[in-house]
Amino acid sequence: MNERGVDLAWSIFSDLPDEPETKYGAMLVNWNGQTGRTTYDMAQSYKTAAFRLLDEAGSYNESWESVDPILFCFRHALELNLKALHEAQSKRNHGLRYLANHLHERLTGCYQQSQLDWLRDRIVEFDTVDPRSTAFRYDDVTNANVAPEVWVDFAQFRRIMNAIFSALYRIRLDDFERVREET
């Protein structure tokens, strides 16, 4: 124990405690190299974290201090959502443009074209600023094709992200319905 009451011998990743439901923490699973989570589960986790970070930053009126984790979590949630809708796509491809275009092509004729165009264009905005999923993680990575300064209105951003995730959820439900009807 140190002077702050921290047990320095404690492992960050340890065995499951007795009665884990009474503890504050989370169980991570590794069953033969499988996590027990789906791509969609992870997308939801990042989306939840992103909205919580955004709301918390707003409650403290501190957008600058939290901008990178907020934008990274939203970008990663988008990437995972798109990958969950295209399970056959390469897991190594981080390009949102490719995934958004593929979704757009697949859904053409199933939804209003203006809605599909809007969804694709909003997702591609993230890809324009952060094509390799590195701009919000590292201090020395930017896209030279982006203006030297860009503004993110977090209030409007929140509404847009809600609309995007609602659309992706609707697509997911519709895909399930189509599969169910086919069987």
Q: How many CA atoms lie within 13 A of 163 on its CB side?
A: 14
Q: Which domain holds residue 142?
A: 37-182
> Structurally, how many domains does the chain consist of?
1
Residue 26 belongs to some domain of the structure: no
Report the alpha-carbon distance of residue 128 to residue 97 in Å, rounded: 8
Q: Contact 75/126 with Cβ under 8 angstroms? A: yes
Residue 148 belongs to some domain of the structure: yes
Residue 110 belongs to some domain of the structure: yes
What one-character DSSP code corresponds to residue 111? B
- Which tens digit of pLDDT belongs to each residue from 3-42? 777 888 888 888 888 898 888 888 877 777 777 888 999 9
Residue 18 belongs to some domain of the structure: no
Residue 175 belongs to some domain of the structure: yes
Is the model's pLDDT at 50 over the cut of 60? yes
Report the alpha-carbon distance of residue 22 to residue 180 in Å, rounded: 38
How is residue 115 written in tokens? 């809605």
Report the alpha-carbon distance of residue 9 to residue 23 in Å, rounded: 19
Mean of the per-residue pLDDT values of the chain:
89
Per-residue pLDDT at 90: 58
Q: Which pTM was predicted? A: 0.87
**pLDDT (mean) for 58-83:** 93
Is the model's pLDDT at 150 over the cut of 70? yes
Per-residue pLDDT at 152: 92
Residue 52 belongs to some domain of the structure: yes
Residue 50 belongs to some domain of the structure: yes
Residue 96 belongs to some domain of the structure: yes
Alpha helices (H) in the chain, listed in sequence order:
39-59, 63-85, 96-107, 113-129, 154-182
Nearest to 74 by CA among 47, 39, 40: 47
- Higher pLDDT: 123 or 176? It is 123
Q: Contact 112/64 with Cβ under 8 angstroms? A: no
- Which tens digit of pLDDT belongs to each residue from 86-107? 865 556 677 899 999 999 999 9
CA angle, residues 65, 66, 67, in degrees to nearest 5? 105
**pLDDT (mean) for 48-67:** 92
Per-residue pLDDT at 56: 95
- Which tens digit of pLDDT belongs to each residue from 107-120? 999 999 999 999 99
